[in-house]
């Protein structure tokens, strides 16, 4: 039930109060603070994200980088995001300022965690981002463009994908601290990657090509994938964001015991009868 609550909070535009209400409908009484602790404080979101990253598909060689601005009262907060040419999110970093220091920290964070080595990085004309690319990824060619450009490739692919975190946060009263915001966004992007088929795990659970799956198949697959990954969660001393995660070999499962037997018991996603 804990995983169900975490999945609801990360996957859907539900506040902690609404998650509490859904659990109460099922006879489970928890507080709003407990829901927030599950998702943000106790690292369940980042732990799920760590397991999902082990099964991510290989990153591409072209990247798009941009920042999303969020407001907390009068304060601005910035979510740095990068995606490859396939739309797969490379990494995210939640920062208080839009500056060279923040952009550099983001690229170092992404490089340490994923080992990403793009050959071309497309960003807006914001100078700190360009300087950060040149410093952290000297072998990558920086391309300063924008959303609407007569020449060069625009940043439209990543601009369009900002809709998802914005829509999700609209149901919440922003995020109280950078650390909890980082944990939330890591978990959110992990669930989003499962839904969009950017993890090999969903293909194993689904049993068919994700491109041929229906919307209902995708929803059931994400639910079962989270259940499988939930058996692998272990309490860690250091936050997952401080550790580099190496992709698991094709066909490997996130931990040595549990998931295969659980998946066998679950079986493939069930299709409702049409009779």
* DSSP SS3 for 71: strand
The vertex-27 CA angle with 23 and 31, nearest 5°, equals 50
Please report the pLDDT score of residue 268 as a whole number: 47
What residues contact 189, with CB distance under 8 A and at least 6 apart? Answer: 49, 89, 92, 165
Q: Return the higher-pLDDT residue of 156 and 28.
A: 28
Q: Return the higher-pLDDT residue of 79 and 232.
A: 79
pLDDT over 60 (residue 41): yes
* DSSP SS3 for 106: helix
pLDDT over 50 (residue 256): no
Mean pLDDT (the chain, rounded) = 78
Please report the pLDDT score of residue 265 as a whole number: 41
pLDDT over 60 (residue 273): no
Please report the pLDDT score of residue 208 as a whole number: 61
| Angle, helices 2-11/44-53, rounded to nearest 10 degrees | 80
φ, ψ dihedrals at 220, nearest 5°: -65, -35
Alpha-carbon distance 240 to 124, whole Å?
29
Question: pLDDT tens across 197-212, in order?
Answer: 888 877 777 666 666 7
Please report the pLDDT score of residue 247 as a whole number: 45
Going by CATH, does the domain composed of 62-166 fall within 2.40.50.100?
A: no
| Angle, helices 215-230/259-266, rounded to nearest 10 degrees | 140
Residue 99, Cα to own-chain centre: how many angstroms?
23
The ranges of the chain annotated as CATH 3.30.420.10 are 62-166
What residues contact 170, with CB distance under 8 A and at least 6 apart? Answer: 13
Alpha-carbon distance 179 to 71, whole Å?
16
Asked if residues 188 and 179 have their Cβ atoms less than 8 Å apart, the reply is no
Please report the pLDDT score of residue 110 as a whole number: 93
Question: pLDDT tens across 139-196, in order?
Answer: 998 887 755 455 557 778 888 878 888 777 765 665 778 888 888 898 889 888 888 8
Please report the pLDDT score of residue 251 as a whole number: 41
Kindly give the pairing relationship between strand 62-72 and strand 75-84. Answer: antiparallel
Question: pLDDT tens across 65-119, in order?
Answer: 999 888 877 888 899 999 999 999 999 999 999 999 999 999 999 999 999 999 9
pLDDT over 70 (residue 244): no
Please report the pLDDT score of residue 23 as a whole number: 92
Q: DSSP for 187-226, please give it.
A: HHHHHHHHHTT-BHHHHHHH-S-GGG--HHHHHHHHHHHH
């Amino acid at each position: 039930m804990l995983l169900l609550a975490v999945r609801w909070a990360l996957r859907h535009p539900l506040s902690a109060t609404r998650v509490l209400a859904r659990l109460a409908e099922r006879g489970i009484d928890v507080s709003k603070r407990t829901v927030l602790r599950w998702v943000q404080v106790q690292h369940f979101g980042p732990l799920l994200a760590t397991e999902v990253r082990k099964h991510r598909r290989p990153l591409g060689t072209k990247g798009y980088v941009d920042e999303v601005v969020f407001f907390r009262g009068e304060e601005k907060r910035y979510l740095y995001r990068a995606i490859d040419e396939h739309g797969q999110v490379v990494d995210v970093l939640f920062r208080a300022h839009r500056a060279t220091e923040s952009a550099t920290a983001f690229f170092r964070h992404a490089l340490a965690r994923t080992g990403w080595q793009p050959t071309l990085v497309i960003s807006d004309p914001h100078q700190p981002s360009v300087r950060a690319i040149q410093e952290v990824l000297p072998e990558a060619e920086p391309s300063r463009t924008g959303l609407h450009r007569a020449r060069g490739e625009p940043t439209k692919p990543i601009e369009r994908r900002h809709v998802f975190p914005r829509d999700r946060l609209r149901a919440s009263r922003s995020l109280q601290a950078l650390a909890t915001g980082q944990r939330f966004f890591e978990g959110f992007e992990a669930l989003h990657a499962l839904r969009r088929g950017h993890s090999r795990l969903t293909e194993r659970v689904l049993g068919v090509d994700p491109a041929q799956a229906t919307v209902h198949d995708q929803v059931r697959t994400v639910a079962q994938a989270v259940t499988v990954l939930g058996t692998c969660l272990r309490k860690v001393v250091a936050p997952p964001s401080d550790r580099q995660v190496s992709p698991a070999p094709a066909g490997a499962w996130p931990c040595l015991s549990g998931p295969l037997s659980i998946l066998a018991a679950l079986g493939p996603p069930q299709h409702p009868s049409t009779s």
